[in-house]
Every structure is written in C-alpha cells, then in structure tokens.
Structure 1
Amino acid sequence: MALTDEAIEKIKEMILDGRLKPGDRLPREADLSTQLGISRSSLREAVRALSMMRILDVRQGDGTYVTSLTPEILLETMGFVIDFHQDSSVLDLFEVRRALEPLAAEKAALQMPPEETADLLALVDAVTPETALEEVVANDLEFHHRIARASGNTVLCSFIDGVANRTQRARIWRGVTQQDSFDQTQREHRGIALAIADRQPSIAAALSLAHVAGIENWIRRSLAEDQENDPAKDQAKEQE
C-alpha cells in the first residue's frame, strides 16, 4: 500500500471508530503525523485527497475539520464525476433512475402525509402546455425530488437528486423534439401522485418504473436515429 493510501486509511479509521466525529478539528499536523506513525508529507497528501472527497474541510488559517459527513456532502463527489461524463452516459443515468425511483415511489406511498400528497398533485397541475419549457423542467425535477424526500431515506434522496439534476438537458431535448411529451409526462406524473395518495405502493412503483423507462427508451431511439442520420457516417461509407 502506498504511503498516502495508508495515511488515508488511518484517518478514515479514526472517523469510523469515533475518535474523530463530524465537525471535529484534526490535531496539529506534527502531532497527528506522530500519532499515526506517518510522515508529514504523506499526511498532507492524505488530507488533500480526503478534502477532495468532502470528508475533510481545510480552512486556511484555522485548521482541518471533519465535515458534517451528510449524504448530500459526500455525494457531491459523485455528481462531479457524472458531470464530466454527462454526454456519453445519459442512458446510464436513466438506468440508475430506473432502479432508484420506483423504490422511492413505493416508500413514499407508505408514508407521505396527506397534505404532502395534496401538494404533489397541485404541483402536477401547476404547469400547462403554455408554461415555459424551463419552468416545466423545473416542475418535473421538483416532482421527483418531493417523492424521493418522502421516502424518508436521505441517501436514496441524494442519489436521485444528483442523477435527476444531471438529466436536465435530456428532459429539455425531449420537450423540444417530442410533440406529445408534455401531455404524456403530465398523465404519468398524475398517475404516480394518485397512487401515492391512495397508499398503493406497488402501483406507485410500477408507474414510476414505466415513466422513467419510457423516457429512457425514447432517448435510446433518438440517439440511434441521430447516429443513423449522421452525415459523417454516410461519408465514411462512401470512402470504403
């Protein structure tokens, strides 16, 4: 194991066994390197790596602290990676949504309070075909966020929010190019919301799965058509 990796593991052990808790300040560099039996240079590299993963927070002139370690903080690193692969992995993102969102809908149907289900239905009706596309997309994101939040699982909610926000361009693309996308989305959203309101977890999960899978399949077909109609592809065939 590289010295930096060893230093990272030792700091992580301190957090996992409770010697360092969320919000705690790390000991001075000299003291911590002696305590862990590692060089100060290895310790610096470890701190740098853990700060990039949002496990540690380096405050200039103040010290290094353990972050809150909430899922929202820790999953920002995942979002950063996804941003760099958004164009090539949009279908992968929808595949993840297809796995996670039915679970959130099922859990929401079991525990979303009546007043929140009423607000969810009102949210669906808050947009019309005349609403600006950007507002429609924002409404879509909020709809899925409320269901994820109602699941009661903060990690699940963070994953869904992180993936859903990074499929925003695909949503806009569909809204511009698919003629009936608004009406179809509204019908599907209303069906999911009604199943949650009626305390029907299996139906809510099934409708959520069909909703996300339908968008995924549309994108898959559109990408295939774009590739088939790519002039560069035709030119390459002519040169063969």
Structure 2
Amino acid sequence: MAVTDDAILRIKEMIVSGQVRPGDRLPPEKELGERLGVSRSSLREAVKALEVIRVLDVRRGDGTYVTSLEPRLLLEAMNFVVDLHTDQSVLEIFAVRRMLEPAATGMAATRLTDEQLTHLESLLGAADADGPIEALVAHDLAFHQAIVEGTGNEYLSRLVEAMQSGTQRARVWRGLTQHRAAERTIAEHRAILDALQRRDAELASALALAHIAGIEHWLREASEIAP
C-alpha cells in the first residue's frame, strides 16, 4: 500500500507542478510506471484511487486524463460521506454550517447581482407554507444554495451544497414534527432576503446565524444530544 500511496503522491506532484494540466492525457501506463519508478499493479491502484475522487478520468481505449479539477467534481466524494450521517454527525454538520453560512451570507450581500436577487425573490414567492413538506425542503435548499453561489466562491458553494444534502432528512423531520416550522422558515428567509436587498452585510449575516442556529438547537433537543 505504501508503494501505491507513493504513486498517488507522484501523480499529484505532476499535476501541481504543471507537468500535466486539467484535461491533459497522462503518458501510457508503461511509460508512466517507469517514470514514477513503480510497478504497473501499483500504478493501476493509484489511478483507480484518483479516479474515485475525480482527479483522473479513465477512458477505456483512449487513455487516462486529468479531469477539469473543478470544485464540483472534487467535492462529490464529500456528498457521499455526509449522506452516511448519524444524529451526532448531522449536529456536527450544522456546527460547520453555523460557521460558514453567516459569513457567506454577509459576503453575498455585497456581491449578489440584481438578477440573482430577483431569483431569490422568485424562490421565496413560490414557497408555500401549506404545501407538501418536500416542496418546502426543496425551497430551503435552493434558497440557501443561491445565496452562497452569490459569493462567487465555487469551493465554498460546493462545500455548503454537500453539507446541505446531508441535513435534508433533518429538515423534513423538523417540518413534519415542529409546529409552524414552515411559516417560520419562510419568514426567516424573507428577513434574510430583505437584508440582502438592502446590501446590509452585517444584518444578513446575523439573520443567517439565527436561522441556522435555531434549526440546530431544535435538532439537539429532538435528538436528546447534549451540546
């Protein structure tokens, strides 16, 4: 396994140093193995590992390519890990969101375009407190994601997206069991959007913090997990 790890690091160094760039094809297996000083079997294991985390793209009959290395691809593995959550890990995810999203919301207040604000307004206008809870959850996910995308930071956007997918069941549970959760969620979203429209970064950040912390507090009580 140590030899495979070394092969992974050497391929990484090739990418980081610019010897191969996103979209480039790696040298043929025999040539690459000799270049890295590893056996074909170790090289194949390294390539498989890097393919799983979307660093490499193995095209049968064509060759092995470096992917675009976009955050969307590189953070896909996190989606899978986060979805395998327990009650405790959901709370840890919310703790991370509580640190990241208020800062992102404040940043978005000064960066959102008029078109993005209009999109947020349309999302909020389509939310129905009396509709199916699944529709409210979809609105909640889209609303938060649209705000973070407004920062223009692709890594932050994909990271928050991955964490939100892992909390979807918790949101449904909350909506099904907590009285007037739908009305409260929409009202809190409205307050956040109003602050964003006024370009008030400090207020938008504070409202986002209260919104996420409120869900986290409820989940702690419902799960009977001590802080």
TM range (shorter): over 0.9
> Is the 1:54–1:73 contact (alpha carbons within 8 Å) kept by the matching residues of 2?
yes
Unaligned runs of 5+ in 1: 228-240
Aligned to 1:132: 132
CA distance, structure 1, for counterparts of residue 14 and residue 101 of structure 2:
35
Residue of structure 2 equivalent to 1:186: 186
Q: Is residue 208 from structure 1 mapped to residue 203 from structure 2 by the alignment?
A: no
Deviations 1:72-126 (A, max 9, x none): 1000111122122345411111111111111211111011112322331232121
- State the superposition RMSD in angstroms: 1.6
The aligned amino acid for 1:55 is V
Which range is displaced more, 185-194 or 86-95?
86-95
User: 1:158: which partner in 2?
Assistant: 158
How far apart are the structure 1 equivalents of 2:101 and 2:222? 23
Unaligned runs of 5+ residues in structure 2 are none
Query: Normalising by structure 2, what TM-score?
Result: 0.95
Look up the SS of the partner of 1:89 in the other structure. helix
Q: Does the residue aligned with 1:156 lie in a helix, a strand or coil?
A: helix
1:156, CA displacement in angstroms? 0.4
Aligned partner of residue 152 in structure 1, secondary structure:
coil
How do 1:82-161 residues align onto structure 2 when only pairs under 5 Å count? 82-161=82-161
Quote the sequence identity (%): 50
CA distance in 2, matches of 1:204, 1:75: 27
Higher gyration radius (CA) = 1
In the TM superposition, 1:1-240 aligns within 5 A as: 2-224=2-224
Residue 15 of structure 1 aligns with an amino acid whose one-letter code is I
Q: Distance in 1 between the 2:8 and 2:32 partners?
A: 12
Matched to 2:103, the amino acid is L
Matched to 1:141, the amino acid is L
Letter in 2 for 1:209: L
Which amino acid is the alignment partner of residue 58 of structure 2? V
Indicate if the aligned counterparts of 2:107 and 2:201 stay in contact, CA closer than 8 A.
Answer: yes
Any conservation in 2 of the 1:110–1:201 contact (CA below 8 Å)? yes
In 1, distance between residues paired with 2:100 and 2:89? 17
Paired residues in the alignment total 226
Amino acid at match of 2:182: F
Partner AA of 1:23 in structure 2: G
TM-score, structure 1 length as denominator?
Answer: 0.90
Asked if the contact 1:191/1:207 (under 8 Å) is kept, the reply is yes
Alignment correspondent of 1:233: none
Find the aligned partners of 2:84 and 2:133 in 1 and give their Cα distance.
Answer: 25
Find the residue that maps to 2:224 and give its secondary structure.
helix
- DSSP 3-state at the match of 2:126: coil
List structure 1 segments (4+ residues) > 6 angstroms apart after TM superposition. none
**More displaced 10-residue stretch of structure 1: 44-53 or 1-10:** 1-10
Distance 1:193 1:51 in 2: 40
